[in-house]
Amino acid sequence: MAATVPLKSQRRRAAALFLGLALALVLVVVFAVGVGSVSVPLTAVVSALAKVFHLWAGEGADPKWEAIILLVRLPRVLGAALIGAALATAGAALQALLRNPMADPGILGVSGGAGLGAVASIGLGFAAQSLWNTPLAALTGALTASAVILGLSFRGGKLSIFTLILAGLAVSAFFAAGTSLVLSLVSRDRVVEFIFWSMGSLAGLRWESIGLVVVPLLLGIAGLFVFGRDLNVLLLGDAEAQSVGLDVPRTRLLVMLLVSVTTAATVCLCGPVGFVGLMVPPMLRLLIGPDNRLLLPASALGGAVFLVSCDVLARVFSATQEVNVGIVTSLVGAPYFLFLLLRSARREELF
């Protein structure tokens, strides 16, 4: 008889994990806000944070420290937490939907579409006119690409996963070619500007940009949480899911839409950041099991912790030149992806 874990202690383990993740998030946020290219005294960090979160009615710290913490670091760190949560939740949902632990929201062609939108905005000079232009153009491109891919993959109400992946590849290639074409026609400055955007960066993230997408992101994340039970049932197989009363095509479509919109909103904020959705959910799945009602919220917390940590690494990597956070997540994520591939090939197990 295999080892059994009584239900009660499973529940206790899940609760402990959530508590641990929440605590880790708070700690890593405070740490991230305290760290930067300029040494800010710890007392200033604490009093600035306390003031912002209305925990303390004191007069706060020296205005120059406050400016650094509240205008440069805090929006960036909270933005990283929000984006990390969104990408991890979207990744977990997508992996359940496709029954494959190697699915990353990037396969939906979102980053290719966003890239074309961004390069059009930068190349045509719209980027210089307003801060909103490039994010909005990226969002439009991302949603267009997703719409095309989903439209191709949903035939007669059924989602063909094979078609989805191939359509994703084809559409991404098309958009990438379009992007290269635009890049070959614009001036060198613009090329550099675009390349910086495309590496995925949280540098200079401002409260206003976050304000633009915070509502869609939170709604997207919450929406995916709501589908937790449905995703569990889907994991039994399409036929089984249909048998217990799940409207499989409709659920697939709705979850895909939520994943696309959530991912598109993150790309518009910071460019494409990969591997968060790929790495965080499988790691948590090992600790918390396959129950998506627990896994999705845990992934949100875990994703936030992960991206904030990657961002700290990106910032302190080099004293003078910041490394884009997308590079850090790729450096960590790509080897992990290869490891997953090898392990699943060897064990013939999907999870």
Cα 177 from Cα 273, distance rounded (Å): 20
Burial grade of 112 (CB within 10 A; 0-12, 13-18, 19 or more): buried
With the C-alpha atoms ordered 274, 275, 278, 281, is the resulting torsion angle positive or negative? negative
* Residue of 11, 22, 23, 64 that binds another protein (CB under 8 A): 64
Residue 96 in contact with residue 269, Cβ under 8 Å? Answer: no
* Residue of 59, 244, 345, 347 that binds another protein (CB under 8 A): 244
Residue 40 in contact with residue 34, Cβ under 8 Å? Answer: yes
Q: Shortest Cβ distance from residue 29 to another protein (Å)?
A: 17
Candidates 19-27, 66-74, 105-113, 145-153; binding stretch for another protein (CB under 8 A):
66-74
Q: Shortest Cβ distance from residue 243 to another protein (Å)?
A: 5
Candidates 52-60, 63-71, 107-115, 334-342; binding stretch for another protein (CB under 8 A):
63-71
Cα 313 to its chain centre, rounded Å, is 17
Does 294 bind another protein (CB under 8 A)? Our answer is no
Q: What element of type H or E holds 152?
A: helix 133-153
Q: Pick between residue 112 and residue 271 the one whose CB is nearest to another protein.
A: 271
Q: Pick between residue 237 and residue 335 the one whose CB is nearest to another protein.
A: 237
Closest C-alpha to 143, from 179, 97, 177, 108: 108
Residue 186 is encoded by which pair of tokens? 């614009």
Does 15 bind another protein (CB under 8 A)? Our answer is no
* Residue of 57, 187, 345, 347 that binds another protein (CB under 8 A): 187
Residue 183 is encoded by which pair of tokens? 């890049």
Does 290 bind another protein (CB under 8 A)? Our answer is yes
Q: Shortest Cβ distance from residue 74 to another protein (Å)?
A: 12
Where would I find the beta strands (DSSP E) of the chain? 154-155, 158-159
* Residue of 12, 15, 41, 63 that binds another protein (CB under 8 A): 63
Does 199 bind another protein (CB under 8 A)? Our answer is no
* Residue of 246, 261, 307, 314 that binds another protein (CB under 8 A): 246
Candidates 26-34, 58-66, 82-90, 146-154; binding stretch for another protein (CB under 8 A):
58-66
Does 240 bind another protein (CB under 8 A)? Our answer is yes
Cα 345 from Cα 351, distance rounded (Å): 11
192 contacts: CB under 8 Å, gap ≥ 6:
none
Q: What is the dihedral of CA 109, 241, 234, 7, to 10 degrees?
A: 170
Candidates 12-20, 47-55, 113-121, 123-131; binding stretch for another protein (CB under 8 A):
123-131
* Residue of 54, 189, 345, 346 that binds another protein (CB under 8 A): 189
Q: Shortest Cβ distance from residue 30 to another protein (Å)?
A: 17
Does 346 bind another protein (CB under 8 A)? Our answer is no
Q: For the chain, how many residues are written?
A: 351
Q: Shortest Cβ distance from residue 220 to another protein (Å)?
A: 17
Residue 292 in contact with residue 92, Cβ under 8 Å? Answer: yes
Residue 158 per-residue DSSP state: E
Residue 37 in contact with residue 319, Cβ under 8 Å? Answer: yes
* Amino acid at the residue 42: L
* Residue of 4, 53, 59, 162 that binds another protein (CB under 8 A): 4
3-class SS at 320?
coil
3-class SS at 245?
coil
**What is the footprint of another protein within residues 80-99 (CB under 8 A)?**
99
What residues make contact with another protein under the rule CB under 8 A?
A: 1-2, 4-7, 10, 36-38, 40, 63-65, 67-68, 71-73, 99, 127-128, 130-131, 187-189, 193, 204-206, 209, 226, 229, 232-233, 235-237, 239-240, 242-248, 289-291, 320, 349-351
